[in-house]
């Protein structure tokens, strides 16, 4: 049996009507009022934007309204106070609750109360290092020298950026001795009695890599010999040597080349790195 155009259109209209009726019949929750408490470090402009974004928002009765509200608050707190951890405030918590104000057919008006705990400003108690798979006595870099690489003194207000810069320096120090697979894990322990935080860095040094075959393409023979003399086969891998060579011999190298163009090929089983320097490849403008 063939369907006429009128029949098809009638069917589509009826489907739309049914969907609209189902949608209208689904109970809704609407946020009528928002009470935001405790976000003392959040700028007023951010607070107003957050409250405005929550006000009059509608949710299905079976949705997780509280979880969605808390997610919006967390994102606003992070974006509105990006320097939180640079000022010593590590982590925060929040709770949100809802209370019915009035009820209409298929519509529930609620008050949402949000309590934000921005935590306490903490000072650094200590930074310690633990070695995974390596005895401290045989570690390539001892904890005393590693600690000096982190520009954050005990007793100072914790600062995330300075701590991260120190971790980068620690990683670089290991890489310059051939431990290019170094992995680390950071554990923080807060003490509410003196508002301090102790940090422990677990280090897994991994294997010490050594230079393997060094291939150089398109470079003056004298400069090539100079390069290979600084990257002798069998000596520990040190990325800084490559950076230094490019910097110190810039006038002898093609325009636009950089250490980032060097091709590294690792052999994890033999713990070696082969390098390919290709100076003949044209540099895009």
Report whether 212 contacts 273 (CB < 8 A). Answer: yes
Whole-number average pLDDT of the chain: 88
Say if CB 57 and CB 72 are below 8 A apart: no
Instruction: Give the pLDDT of residue 25.
Output: 56
Q: What pLDDT, on a 0 to 100 scale, did the predictor assign at position 280?
A: 87
pTM of the entire predicted model: 0.78
Residue 115: its pLDDT value, please? Answer: 96
Which of 135, 112, 125, 119 is closest to 158 using CA atoms?
125
**Which three-class secondary structure string do you get for 63-126?**
CCHHHHHHHHHHHHHHHHCCCCHHHCECCCEEEEEEEEEEEECCEEEEEEEEEEECCCECEEEE
> Quick one: pLDDT at residue 63?
87
SS3 188: strand
pLDDT value of residue 49: 94
List pLDDT tens digits, range 220-237: 999 999 999 999 999 999
Q: How confident is the model at residue 262 (pLDDT cuts 50, 70, 90)?
A: very high
Q: Please tell me which of 18-22, 42-46, 212-216, 251-255 the model is most confident about, judged by mean pLDDT.
A: 212-216
Report percent pLDDT > 90 for the chain: 79
What band does 62 get if pLDDT is binned at 50, 70 and 90? Answer: confident
Is-contact 150 163, C-beta < 8 A? yes
pLDDT number for residue 132:
87
> pLDDT of 83-96, one tens digit each?
999 999 998 899 99
Cα dihedral sign for 221, 222, 224, 229?
Answer: positive
- pLDDT-based confidence at residue 135 (cuts at 50, 70, 90): low
């Amino acid at each position: 049996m063939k369907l006429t155009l009128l029949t098809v259109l009638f069917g589509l209209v009826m489907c739309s009507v049914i969907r609209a009726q189902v949608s209208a019949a689904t109970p809704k929750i609407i946020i009528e009022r928002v009470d935001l408490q405790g976000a003392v470090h959040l700028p007023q402009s951010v607070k107003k934007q957050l409250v405005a974004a929550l006000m009059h928002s509608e949710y299905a009765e079976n949705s997780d309204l509280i979880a969605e509200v808390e997610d919006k608050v967390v994102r606003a707190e992070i974006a509105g106070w990006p320097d939180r951890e640079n000022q010593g405030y590590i982590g925060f918590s929040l709770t949100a609750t809802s209370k019915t104000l009035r009820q209409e057919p298929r519509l529930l008006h609620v008050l949402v109360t949000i309590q934000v705990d921005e935590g306490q400003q903490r000072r650094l108690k200590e930074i310690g290092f633990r070695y995974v798979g390596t005895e401290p006595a045989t570690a390539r870099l001892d904890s005393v020298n590693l600690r000096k690489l982190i520009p954050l003194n005990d007793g100072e207000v914790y600062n995330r950026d300075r701590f991260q810069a120190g971790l980068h320096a620690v990683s670089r120090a290991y890489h310059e001795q051939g431990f290019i697979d170094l992995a680390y894990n950071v554990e923080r322990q807060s003490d509410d009695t003196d508002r301090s935080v102790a940090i422990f860095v677990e280090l897994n040094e991994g294997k010490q890599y050594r230079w393997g075959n060094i291939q150089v393409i398109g470079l003056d023979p004298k400069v090539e010999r100079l390069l290979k003399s600084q990257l002798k086969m069998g000596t520990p891998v040190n990325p800084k040597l490559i950076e230094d060579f490019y910097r110190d011999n810039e006038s002898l190298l093609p325009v636009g080349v950089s250490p980032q163009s060097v091709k590294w090929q690792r052999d994890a089983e033999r713990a070696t790195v082969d390098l390919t320097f290709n100076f003949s490849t044209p540099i895009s403008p």
